[in-house]
């Protein structure tokens, strides 16, 4: 009897490989279990009855490179040519991602000789739902709600917008005008610094610079005293101090601007508040609405 086999469904993964899957290979790697369904015809058309089958996994299409042992499925019911078998190839080299073919032999159940069916059937992967083992290498737009954990700075693009999201923390080097940034310590800002030169009347020491004065980003002059704003947000003062105009308030920090009055001093802080010290004959250091 001359037989031939026509493939109607190449490959379907067994339900035993239940999702969510942690890995995906082209043909399942060593996970060599799948269900095979085919159609068996003879010279008179479709067949019905019991048939024995052999299945051999091949590394090429000429049947000369078998992989592992062949499988036998005996007394398989065939109805109108259709049959279904479950196959499991357990050799470690069964599915490594390289091309594979299925060599099929068939005979009426209990007969002596198997007849090889041609052409050999290429084994291809069937799409199914997957999820990635890690987020490495993913591209495209991902919903924020599906992301958890810490994303390394190196994985972020050079420009990133948080859209006002809360609980977002970044570190590293930034550039731009800083518009909209709040609660930033002034000492974290990169500012142009320089040295200070002073001249003029010096009876009250207003031109005698304090020892070690450096990292100055702004200066201001009062009636007989001087002020300097340093890059770390602190203030230095020198000169006449009859009214405490050069006595810096304890803990003064995060200053972004300074000004000197005749006998008093002023500092604007990064949070928008003002500090004032010195003479107060006319309320010049009594802050409004303080």
CATH, residue 28: 2.60.40
Task: Indicate whether 219 belongs to any domain.
Answer: yes
Contact 87, 71 (CB under 8 A): yes
Contact 135, 148 (CB under 8 A): no
Whole-structure pTM value: 0.40
Task: Indicate whether 140 belongs to any domain.
Answer: no
pLDDT of residue 78: 93
Task: Using alpha carbons, list the distances in angstroms from residue 156 to 136, 145, 177, 181, 197.
Answer: 12, 17, 20, 20, 45
Q: Sign of the CA dihedral 27, 30, 36, 41?
A: positive
Q: What's the CA gap between 111 and 113, in Å, rounded? A: 6
Q: What's the CA gap between 222 and 239, in Å, rounded? A: 9
Task: Indicate whether 243 belongs to any domain.
Answer: yes
Task: Indicate whether 171 belongs to any domain.
Answer: no
Task: Indicate whether 150 belongs to any domain.
Answer: no
Q: Clarify whether residues 16 and 116 are in a common domain.
A: yes
Domains in the chain: how many in total?
A: 2
Q: What's the CA gap between 105 and 116, in Å, rounded? A: 4
Q: Residue 278: which of 265, 269, 288 has the closest Cα?
A: 265
Contacts of 20 (CB under 8 A, 6+ apart): 129, 130, 131
Q: Clarify whether residues 113 and 33 are in a common domain.
A: yes
> Over the chain (290 residues), what is each successive 10-residue block's mean pLDDT?
40 31 38 80 84 93 88 94 90 85 92 89 68 63 70 68 64 69 66 79 87 91 93 93 94 94 94 93 86
Task: Indicate whether 90 belongs to any domain.
Answer: yes
Burial of 40 (0-12, 13-18, 19+ CB in 10 A): buried
pLDDT of residue 158: 64
Q: Around Cβ 150, how many Cβ atoms within 10 Å?
A: 7
Contact 216, 229 (CB under 8 A): yes
Q: Residue 260: which of 248, 252, 273, 272 has the closest Cα?
A: 248
CATH, residue 207: 2.130.10.30
Task: Indicate whether 110 belongs to any domain.
Answer: yes
pLDDT of residue 165: 64
Q: Clarify whether residues 16 and 104 are in a common domain.
A: yes
Task: Using alpha carbons, list the distances in angstroms from residue 279 to 223, 252, 255, 273.
Answer: 12, 18, 21, 20
pLDDT of residue 11: 33
Range of the domain at 271: 186-290
Q: Clarify whether residues 113 and 216 are in a common domain.
A: no
Look at residues 122, 140, 172 and tell me which one is the last residue of a structural domain: 122
Q: Clarify whether residues 116 and 190 are in a common domain.
A: no
């Amino acid at each position: 009897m001359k037989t031939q086999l026509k493939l109607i469904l190449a490959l379907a993964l067994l339900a035993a490989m239940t999702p969510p899957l942690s890995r995906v290979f082209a043909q399942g790697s060593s996970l060599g279990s799948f269900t095979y369904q085919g159609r068996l015809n003879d010279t008179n058309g479709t067949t019905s009855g019991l048939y024995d089958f052999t299945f051999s996994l091949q590394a090429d299409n000429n049947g000369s490179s078998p992989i592992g042992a062949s499988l036998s499925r005996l007394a398989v019911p065939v109805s109108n040519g259709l049959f279904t078998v479950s196959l499991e190839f357990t050799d470690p080299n069964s599915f490594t991602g390289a091309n594979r073919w299925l060599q099929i032999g068939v005979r009426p159940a209990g007969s002596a000789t198997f007849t090889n069916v041609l052409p050999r059937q290429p084994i291809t992967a069937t799409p199914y739902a997957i999820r990635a083992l890690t987020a490495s290498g993913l591209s495209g737009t991902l919903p924020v709600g599906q992301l958890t954990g810490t994303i390394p700075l190196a994985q972020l693009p050079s420009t990133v917008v948080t859209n006002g999201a809360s609980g977002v923390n970044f570190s590293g080097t930034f550039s731009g005008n800083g518009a909209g940034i709040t609660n930033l310590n002034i000492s974290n800002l990169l500012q142009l610094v320089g040295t200070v030169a002073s001249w003029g009347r010096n009876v009250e020491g207003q031109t005698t610079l304090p020892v070690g004065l450096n990292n100055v980003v702004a200066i201001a002059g009062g009636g007989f005293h001087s002020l300097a704003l340093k890059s770390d947000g602190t203030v230095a003062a020198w000169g006449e101090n009859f009214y405490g105009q050069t006595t810096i308030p304890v803990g003064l920090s995060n200053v972004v601007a300074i000004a000197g009055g005749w006998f008093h001093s002023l500092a604007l802080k990064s949070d928008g508040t003002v500090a004032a010290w010195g003479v107060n004959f006319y309320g010049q250091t009594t802050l409004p609405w303080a």
